[in-house]
């Protein structure tokens, strides 16, 4: 979809689609298009570059509700479920990202450019990012803003990189609130749950919970490096020390 198109997809399954040599295994959204996806299942989709399932870019808008993204594979780059770039606006609610893999960053979801992404009551489970910029569940880069509310990040992995659940880099913002849970996430480098690097900002508040995350080097739960900004409020960290490092 492109231009100023408006499109709604309901109660559908998009499975085992492939995009060799390009982005977007199942759906490409560009221009100023507005797309609503409800009650759909994206499974086994693959893209050689970005977005195993959905790529949303330019000034387009995507709203996803009650969907599943499973076993997607963005072979070389980012976004095992959703890849957002440009000035796109994305809202994902009551959805799950499970067992998606990428060759670089954002096993479940990747946000770049100046995108704004809201994630509400979602589950990211057993997603992985291999090497690259990390973020087994989610990566935010450039000037992207990602707001996570009441969601669960479990058993995600940054392979050979940092941020088992979330990686915030460059000038991006990640805000995790409303009881968002981080449990059993693994980073083979730093930041078992969250990695903050560059001029990135992370806000962890509203009863966010951390349990049994692990990192090979620094920051069992959170690691921050370079000119970062970390704001922590009413968070509950239950794990072995050190949990937060910089």
pLDDT tens column, 161-213: 999 999 999 999 999 999 999 999 999 999 999 999 989 999 998 889 999 99
Work out the pLDDT band at 4, boundaries 50, 70, 90.
confident
Average pLDDT over residues 45-55: 96
pLDDT of residue 2: 72
Tell me which of 148 and 3 has the higher pLDDT.
148
Region 228-237: mean pLDDT is: 74
Please compute the mean of the pLDDT values over residues 13-26 and round it to a whole number.
94
| DSSP codes, 135-149 | -SSEEE-TT-EEEEE
pTM (whole model) above 0.85: yes
Distance CA 147, CA 80 (A): 19
Q: Is the pLDDT of residue 238 over 70?
A: no
pLDDT value of residue 132: 87
Identify the band that residue 1 occupies on the pLDDT scale cut at 50, 70 and 90: low
pLDDT one-digit tens code per residue, 131-145: 889 999 999 999 999
Q: Which tokens in the block code for residue 193?
A: 């749950």
The pLDDT confidence band at residue 241, using thresholds 50, 70 and 90, is: very low
Tell me: pLDDT of 29 over 70: yes
Please state, rounded to an integer, the average pLDDT across all residues of the chain: 93
- What pLDDT, on a 0 to 100 scale, did the predictor assign at position 245? 57
Does residue 58 have a pLDDT over 90?
yes
Q: Write down the pLDDT at residue 206.
A: 84
Q: Where are the beta strands (DSSP E) in 20-151?
A: 27-29, 34-38, 41-43, 46-47, 54-56, 61-65, 68-70, 73-74, 82-84, 89-93, 96-98, 101-102, 109-111, 116-120, 123-125, 128-130, 138-140, 145-149
Give the β-pairing of 34-38 and 61-65: parallel
Contacts of 175 (CB under 8 A, 6+ apart): 145, 146, 147, 148, 202, 203, 205
- Angle in degrees, CA 25, 5, 146, rounded to 5: 60
The tally of CA atoms less than 13 A away on the side-chain side of residue 51 is 21
- Predicted confidence (pLDDT) at residue 243 exceeds the cutoff of 70: no
């Amino acid at each position: 979809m492109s231009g100023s198109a408006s499109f709604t997809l309901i109660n559908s399954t998009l499975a085992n689609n492939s995009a060799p040599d390009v982005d977007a295994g199942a759906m490409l959204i560009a221009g100023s298009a507005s797309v609503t996806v409800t009650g759909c299942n994206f499974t086994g989709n693959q893209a050689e570059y970005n977005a195993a399932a959905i790529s949303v870019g330019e000034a387009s808008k995507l709203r996803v509700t009650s969907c599943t993204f499973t076993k997607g594979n963005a072979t070389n780059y980012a976004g095992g479920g959703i890849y957002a770039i440009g000035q796109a606006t994305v809202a994902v609610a009551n959805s799950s990202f499970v067992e998606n893999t990428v060759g670089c960053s954002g096993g479940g979801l990747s946000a770049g450019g100046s995108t704004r992404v809201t994630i509400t009551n979602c589950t990211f489970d057993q997603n992985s990012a291999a090497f690259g910029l990390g973020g087994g569940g989610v990566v935010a880069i450039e000037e992207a803003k990602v707001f996570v509310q009441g969601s669960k990040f479990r058993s995600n992995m940054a392979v050979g990189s940092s941020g088992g659940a979330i990686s915030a880099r460059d000038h991006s913002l990640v805000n995790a609130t409303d009881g968002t849970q981080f449990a059993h996430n693994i980073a083979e480098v730093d930041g078992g749950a969250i990695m903050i690097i560059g001029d990135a900002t992370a806000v962890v508040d509203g009863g966010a919970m951390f349990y049994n995350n692990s990192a090979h080097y620094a920051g069992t739960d959170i690691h921050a490096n370079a000119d970062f900004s970390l704001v922590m409020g009413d968070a509950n960290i239950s794990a072995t020390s050190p949990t937060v490092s910089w």
